[in-house]
Chain A
Amino acid sequence: MKFFTAFRKKSPWILHYNAGSCNGCDIEILAALGPKFDLERFGVINTGNPKQSDIFLVTGPVTYRSRERLVELYSQIPEPKVVIAVGSCTATGGVFRGMYNVEDGIDQYIPVDVYVPGCASTPQLIIDAIVKALEILETKSKEIEKPFKLFGAIAMVGNKLSRLNMATRVKHDEI
């Protein structure tokens, strides 16, 4: 409904996922949530639960171990949702680019709305990115958004949508 859309940007709940980062950017995210930068004054809560969050904050180049979880978590967030890629390695692979066990950026797997540069990126940049993401969140609809890869069918059970098989596992010969 139109009336409630205005409140999306007043209460963004964050899901933070580490897709194999060096932890540098995760510490910056925690700093942004902590007393000094105090992201909570915008109504941000770090929920840790995909089913109740709006913003997906990802750090790290996608490693082979984490890609299924990344897609699974992304499909579990109810729409409208936005994805923020925090740190250079999340955007391009950064210092990990071309290594044998990484996938050079999360946009190979899920659509990204805001990229945050920097290795490590700063809390100020992360706050900027969240403010930008909220603008995007306001324009989004409740249409289902799909991951690019590792994506199963959207099935109908009765007249209800089932998300059970939206994320599929990596087959062994693909590795």
Chain B
Amino acid sequence: MIWVWIALAPILGGLVYGGERVLRARMQRRQGPPVLQPFYDMFKLLDKRTLIVHAPHALLGVAHFFVLWFTVAAIFLGWNLLYIVFLHLFAQMLLILAGYSVRSAYSHLGANRELLMLIAYEPILILVAVGFYLQSGSFDIAQIVRGGGYLVQMPLLFVALAMIVPIKVKKSPFDVGEAHQEIVGGVEIEYSGLFYEFLYMSRFLEYIFIYSFVFIFAGVSYGLGAALVAGVFLLVNLVDNATARVRTMHMVKIIYAVALSLSIVNIMWIVL
């Protein structure tokens, strides 16, 4: 059964992404595209001529997608949270290498920003994992979701996690990595057709990746988990519609000043 879910993970993420586009449109009093729009986009991309800059560049994009898929599979199978964070790091590294491997200035800029985003959110993810370890005595997700009461013991870590969700799903105010108006999509810029499709799908998987961190905060109660995910989802989209993009360095500073200190305070509070 769990393997079916793993196989369907990109489709699940696509539905979330489609639903989000409708939600954001409704928040702006627009009608918005159909919920299945991401899949229409993907089918259309299959019908385009594919332009490739060079083979390693295209391949790194594909590898990024599959490593990310593996990461999501590891989450569904309840593996070690630290492994999952580092697997995700590996997937991001492949994407950044792809960005540096072509000569486009925008691609390089995008890769730089992708690195800075990594620097911003990676410590928070690790601290969240450490918090779970201190609470449940294990890094295994399977073990963690058998416990409960995380929200009471680690509220500040939850706030910190909610702050990095917009970075991961590329939403304002922290959508510096994509930034269509300034760097035209950043690392994605040189991809087209079939290979852009893989990057498009890895965005779906990012949704599942980051929101499953939100989900396991509820522990044993799946209903509460779903409520948490829905709440954070709404909040992120509200903030996205209401704010402008901050500059890259400001993003790192904000995350370090607020989210990182919140997490450290929370960890110390648990330990002491």
Contact = CB atoms under 8 A, between A and B. Distances in A.
Interface stretch (A34-42, A122-130, A147-155): A34-42
B37 A43 contact: yes
Given A5-B47, A41-B33, A142-B48, 6 more contacts: A4-B47, A7-B40, A11-B40, A43-B37, A47-B185, A76-B51
Interface in A17-76: 35, 38, 40-43, 46-49, 51-52, 54, 76
A36 B52 CA distance: 38
Contacts of A42: 33
B30 interface: yes
B29 A49 contact: no
Interface string B175-186: 000001100110
Interface string B212-251: 0000000000000000000000000000000000000000
Contact of A51 (B30, B37, B41, B192): B192
B140 interface: no
Contacts of A51: 51, 189-192, 196
B193 interface: yes
A48 B188 CA distance: 12
A49 B25 contact: no
Contact of B33 (A35, A43, A54): A43
Contacts of B52: 160
B270 interface: no
9 contacts: A1-B46, A11-B40, A40-B21, A43-B41, A48-B181, A52-B188, A52-B192, A78-B48, A80-B47
A49 B189 contact: yes
A146 interface: no
Given A7-B44, A35-B28, A51-B189, A43 B34 contact: yes
Interface string B28-65: 11111110010011011011111110000000000000
Q: For the side of the interface on A, what is the size category?
A: 20 to 34
Interface in B142-156: none
Contacts of B51: 51, 76, 78, 163
Given A11-B40, A51-B190, A52-B192, A1 B34 contact: no
Q: For the side of the interface on B, what is the size category?
A: 20 to 34
Contact of A4 (B30, B43, B188): B43
A7 B48 CA distance: 11
Interface of A: 1, 3-5, 7-8, 10-11, 13, 35, 38, 40-43, 46-49, 51-52, 54, 76, 78-80, 142, 160, 163
Given A10-B44, A38-B25, A52-B196, A47 B37 contact: no
A120 to B, nearest CB: 22
A10 B29 CA distance: 22
A117 to B, nearest CB: 27
Contacts of B30: 35, 38, 40-41
A134 to B, nearest CB: 11
Contacts of A163: 51
Nearest to A50: B192
A64 B190 CA distance: 27
Contacts of B28: 35
Nearest to B41: A11
Contact of B49 (A7, A35, A78): A78
Nearest to A76: B51
Contacts of A80: 47-49
